Structure formats: C-alpha cells, structure tokens
Amino acid sequence: MKQVLEDLRDGSIWVEDVPPPQLRDEFVLVRNRQSLISSGTEGGTVKLGRMGLLAKARARPEQAMKVLQLARAQGPLTAYAVARRALETPIVLGYSCAGEVIAVGKGVDHVRVGDIVACAGQGYASHAEVVSVPKRLCVPVPAGLDPDRAAFATVGAIALQSLRVADVRLGDNVVVIGLGLVGLLVAQLLRAAGCRVFGLDIDAGRLALAQQNDWAETCPVGAPNVKERVLAWSDGAGADVVIVTAATDDAGPVALAGELCRSKGRVVVVGRTEMQLPREHYLFKELELRTSMAYGPGTGDPNYEQEGHDYPLPYVRWTEQRNMSAFLDQVSRGRIDLAAMITHRFPLDQAADAFALISGERKEPSLGILLDYPKVASMTNRVNLKANAAAPPVASAKLRVAVLGAGSHATNEFLPALARRDVEFRGIASATGVRAVALGKKYGFAFASADVSEVLSDAQTDAVFILTRHDSHADLAAQALAAGKQVFVEKPLALDLVQLERVISAFVNDTQALMVGFNRRYAPLAVTLREMFMSRAQPMSVAYRANVGYRPPQHWLHHPREGGGVILGEACHHIDFCCWLIGSPVISVDVRCLGGSSAGYLREDNVHVTLGFADGSLATLMYLSNGAKAFPTETIEVSCENRSARLLDFRRLESGHGLHRRTRRLWRGSAKGIDQQIASFLDAARNPHGFKRASYIESSRLIIEIDRLLQEQLVGSVEST
C-alpha cells in the first residue's frame, strides 16, 4: 500500500510503498477514502523538519535534553549516532481520516465490515491507503454523510472538546482568537450551541469566510481598536469566554485574551500556544485559565486508546469517541458547514503538493485540504526491496538472517552491530511496516513486511532475530523454532511457565540454537571478571546494584501483559549475570521489595533478590529506581579468597589481591556485550553442534519464579492493608 511520510532531516514529503498493517485485537482495519491534512499540527512538523539541527533542538527541548543525558552516560559519539538515526526514521503523518471497514479484531462490536467510519489518532489515522485504528478512536459515520465530511471528525472533536472545557452556556459572548481549521469549527459549534461569537485572526480571507457565512462577527487581530470593538459587541461587558486556537510560539494571543475577557471570565487555550499570563489582567480580573489538549477524556491513556476500556458514561459523559460521534451528528444535521472550509483536494500520489500549501512553498490561501484515495488499495504483505528477493532458494556461503521488530533497541543498538557481521539480510518485519521498509533499505534487506509469517516462512532464511515487545517473544520464538530456524530472542524469553514450555516443545531437532539476549555475560570486562575467579576453591559473594532510575506507573514495562514488569523485563539481565558469574545451581531464593506507603516510588521497582547457590555462594541483586542519576547505573562487587573486584557500568574494572590494586578500562566498543553476543550466536547458528542452550532456559525459569514470588509479596501486602 501507499503511505505519506516525511523526512525529518529536511522536511521533504513523499509517498512510499509499505506493507499494510496487520489486524490486532481491539483494532479496526480501514481502507481510507479521504484524510484531512492539519495545517497546524502537521504544518508544524514539516516546518520542524526544515529547520537546522540547533533550531530543531530549540523547538524540541525535551528531546534535546534526552540526547544530552545520553551523551553524559554513554559518550557524545553514541548520543550523536542515536540522534542521527532518529532523524533518519521517517515520520508518519496524519491523524484524521474516514473510510470503509475491511476487517475487525477480536473485541470490536460497534462496527462491521463494510461500514463507513471516521478515525482519529496520531500514528493510527494516518495518510495511508489502509490504517489500523483502536476501536475507541473509530466511530460509525451517520447514514448519508459523505466520507470527505467525516474526515473532519478528529479536528471537530478537538473543537468540540474546547467548548466542553469552556463550559459555555446559551447566550454567552465568546471570542475566538485564531480562525484556522479548528477556530472556524469552534465558531460554528458555538453558534450551534446558541452563543454569540466574535472572531479574530490575521488572515483577511478567513475573517471574510466567517463573516460571510454568519459564523462570527470579525475583526483583524491587529486592529488598533480591537478591544473597543469587542466591548461594543458585548454591550460593554467584555467576553464571558475567550477561546484561543492560534498555534504560535508568541504569548500575544493569551495576553490579548486577558484584555478582552470580562472580570471572573474564562480563557481556554487549545493546542500548542505559548502561555505567559500578564498579571494585571489575569490576577486583578480573577480570570480562570483552562487548557484543552486534544479530543477529550481518553487522550493519551493506553487503557482507553489501546486496550479499549471505555469510561462509564454516567461518570465521564464525553470521551474522545463520544465527541467524534457528537460532532458528526451536528454535521449530518446541517448545523456545521464543512463544504465552505474545503479549499483543496489532491490524489494521494500528489501529497507533496498538498503539503507544499501548509509549508508555505506554494503561496496560495488554504484551509481544509483533503487527500483522496484510490478505490482499491494494494494489500500485498511483502514489499520486495531487492530485485531478486522472491527468487528460488540458492546456496549461499553467508548465513542468511531475518529480523522481527524495528523499535529503538533494534534501530540504535542491534542492527548497527549486526550489520558489521558478514551475513546476508533477508526479511525484516515491524508492526506498521514503515520502519521495516526504512531500516530494510538502509541495511540492504531483501524484503520488508508487517506480517511476521512472511519472514518465518521464507525458505532462504537460516536464522531469526526476535526484537519485538516482551509479550510476543515466546510465541514468535516457538514459531521460528517450529519453522526450523536458528533463533535469537531478546530478553525475556517468556513471561510465564506456560509460554516457556511452549518454546521448549517447539524444537524440531537438536541442531537448533536458541540464545536469549542476556548480553552482559558477553561484555569484555565481565569475561575478564569471571576469569579472575574461575579457579576459586571457596564460595564467592556477589553484590549487584542496578540503579535504573524512576519510571512512571504507566510505562509500558509495567504493563502486566506487554512488558511483564521489571523482574521479567529488565532485572532478568542481572539475575542471569549472577548465575553465569558464579556457575553453580541456585538452591534458594529470597525476594523482598521496599515497604512503607510507597509514596513517591513504586515498590515493585525497588527490590532485593538474594540467591543461594549449591557451592555456598551468595548473590544479592538490588534493583532500585530511587537512586541518584549521577551514580553508575550498574555496579557489581565480588569478594572471594581475599580478593575483591568491582565492575562499574561494564567500562571500568577494579580488582585487588592483598595490598595490590589494578584498574582496567574499556574505552571503546560494546561495553555491555551486544557485539560479542551477536558474534557468538552467529557462530552457533553456523555450527550449532555442542551449543549449550540449557543455561538460557534455566535462567528464564528462575526469573519467572522470582517474579512469581515478588507478585505474591505485593498481593500479600495489599491484602494486609
């Protein structure tokens, strides 16, 4: 299928052939008929792409700060490489569209195949021939309403939510500052609600449009007597409510809103607008400032948007989905005129020309810009990136590998390391297909897909790297093993014992290698540390402190199904390392998390795990999120036979025996062993005889047991309170 993408390096727009998205539970597959280009949000994204690096950093200070933090932790070269790869990743555009349902996932019961629906959501309702949209961001279109009108549902919901935040009443005097796409919809909705409306803008054409259609009284925002005109219009009282829909870095609109609003009135700011409040107006008038972020309650809540859990109507009357339906109802009843707002239509293939209007390349007034889609979309699951990608299998001296997953770990760490090895890239798959195509082209893969079965069924693939989210690891590993592949799977291998047994039972022969991404046992200084104590005759003491930093409760790692929690999702690294370092069977386990009220921290993110080994050794893991960022992330201390060693972030190894002390440093290369583990797996995939996969399986079994003990403790503490 075809999809509109942006290159963030220079802001260029193009239409790319990508695999269509796959159907998921609680999602709907829709063949687009029209999608709406947002001159505000998407125009800002295009303008950002055309900025220089310094200007990009100023425009996105939060992202720039992340790069600086990475530079402090891993060095400027690593930070530069990560930032460069982020800029190379295509940006998916669009968040408001309408089309025909072609498939519904499990749990979807409000629409059926063949229905015409309106869709919302950045990353979901994209400018693409086929989109996969969560059911809560998809609503049926009223009978008889054209899809090109329904494509406005998202921006209509944004406009409608601002009215709900403003709490306007029949007869209120409302000033709208900014008569762009959202502002004009706000004006029309206010009129439909029985309010008196006054509109301000810098664009004479938009002022004339609002005036001619009787949507609002208007005045240029820069008029010298704008305050007097608003006072005269409101019989000297001033505005009851001012709604600011002007997307700007200038605080002028918010300051003007304070001047125009009556005492004890309300100012509502919609979207991205600089907010600096002049004290003389906001304080002395006792004005109330409210913000309206997006479509309504549910915005940004993964439980609502991705999991499909609705908010009970008696308690949350208007959600994202209900706002979209309410807006379309007003359009279908003729109370909102969208025909006058549609200024341009372009076929999908001419998307670059459409975006030239909002970027300023084409000096032509525009407002509502629609993209029209062909009636039949290409649904080929596989996009060949090389001319001979689908050729019959031929003998190859190189190991032929495929990759499932194209997230940040694959992009920033794994694929660059894998590309340095002498392998032949076959297929790459990701959830949307966009990243798969981008990375596939960059690294020379033969084909890309959003369907993992395309990769697993490829007869020319020898080995598969599974780099997806945690909840899919066991199922994909089992499928790959059943297909006869050599398998590398990122940690964790499984989230429970049922999944683990499914993987174990999937081996079709004894020559299949299975390696789990416990890369720390391959770190160069870790190998040196282990060799130092290899010939010991006494038990050893290991203290491993993981200073991981705070993650909010809504972080995906905490999701019980998708992330599995911190023990399964991250502390597994440290548990496996202790087992590998000591090299003796575990015979006892004790798990304790921090007690108290847990105010300001998460108990399950602050855990002590003590492992007892058959040879008498002890290992204590302290997995902590309440530590200082300035301290090392991972510190390992070992004591045995009057010798001591300390490994700091796998880059500095301090060792001592008696009065002698020595320090080794790793100045370059893969500190945590990713490069070395990839090399080891490729060797095993080429010659799997004698490969010991049991240690990975036993570590996985132990980690699942530790997580079970932690969950029992957490449940017990809740019941006791």
Query: Which of 73-87, 359-373, 638-652 has the largest mean confidence?
Result: 638-652
pLDDT tens-digit map of 100-116: 999 999 999 999 999 99
Query: Which of 31-45, 63-77, 90-104, 554-568 has the largest mean confidence?
Result: 90-104
Q: Say what angle helices 320-332 and 153-166 make with each other, to 10 degrees.
A: 110
pLDDT tens-digit map of 425-473: 999 999 888 999 999 999 999 999 999 999 999 999 999 999 999 999 9
- The answer to whether residues 349 and 372 touch, using CB atoms and an 8 Å cutoff, is no
Pairing of strands 399-404, 423-429: parallel
pLDDT confidence of residue 73:
62
pLDDT confidence of residue 245:
94
- The region of weakest confidence among 51-60, 455-464, 493-502 is 51-60
- The region of weakest confidence among 221-225, 430-434, 479-483 is 430-434
Averaged pLDDT, 629-637: 92
In angstroms, the CA 406 to CA 477 distance is 16
- The region of weakest confidence among 67-71, 245-249, 612-616 is 67-71
Averaged pLDDT, 204-210: 96
Eight-state DSSP code of residue 435? H
Q: Using the structure block, give the residue that is written with the tokens 């082209």.
A: 441
pLDDT tens-digit map of 162-176: 999 999 999 999 999
> Band of the pLDDT at 604, cuts 50, 70, 90?
confident
pLDDT tens-digit map of 237-287: 999 999 999 877 788 899 999 999 999 999 999 977 788 888 888 999 999
pLDDT at 49 > cutoff 80: no
pLDDT confidence of residue 599:
66
- The region of weakest confidence among 375-379, 467-471, 533-537, 623-627 is 375-379
CA 597 to each of CA 72, 175, 560, 567, 721: distance values in angstroms, whole numbers, following the listed order? 33, 48, 22, 21, 10
> Band of the pLDDT at 550, cuts 50, 70, 90?
confident
Averaged pLDDT, 556-578: 91
pLDDT confidence of residue 277:
87
pLDDT at 298 > cutoff 60: yes
467 vs 602 pLDDT, higher one: 467
pLDDT confidence of residue 342:
96
Averaged pLDDT, 55-73: 68
pLDDT confidence of residue 391:
65
pLDDT at 721 > cutoff 60: no
Averaged pLDDT, 586-614: 88
pTM: 0.88
Helix then strand then coil, % of the chain, to nearest 5: 35, 25, 40
Domains and CATH numbers, the chain: 2-152+302-372 (3.90.180.10), 157-292 (3.40.50.720), 394-516 (3.40.50.720), 520-720 (3.30.360.10)
pLDDT at 385 > cutoff 90: yes
714 vs 543 pLDDT, higher one: 543
Averaged pLDDT, 350-355: 94
Q: Phi, psi (5° rounding) for residue 220?
A: -60, 135
Residue 320: left (phi > 0), alpha (psi -120 to 50), or beta? Answer: alpha
Q: Mean pLDDT, the chain, as a whole number?
A: 91
Q: Which letter, b or e, does each residue of 296-326 get, where b requires 16 or more Cβ atoms within 10 Å of its Cβ? A: bbbbebeebbbbbeebeeeeeebbbbbbbbb
pLDDT confidence of residue 552:
84
pLDDT at 408 > cutoff 80: yes
Query: Which of 144-158, 266-280, 621-635 has the largest mean confidence?
Result: 144-158
In angstroms, the CA 355 to CA 49 distance is 13
In angstroms, the CA 39 to CA 178 distance is 13
> Band of the pLDDT at 474, cuts 50, 70, 90?
very high
**Cα end-to-end distance, the chain, whole Å:** 55
377: number of Cβ within 10 Å? 17
pLDDT at 42 > cutoff 90: no
> Band of the pLDDT at 59, cuts 50, 70, 90?
low
56: number of Cβ within 10 Å? 18
Angle, alpha carbons 280-282-288 (nearest 5°) = 170
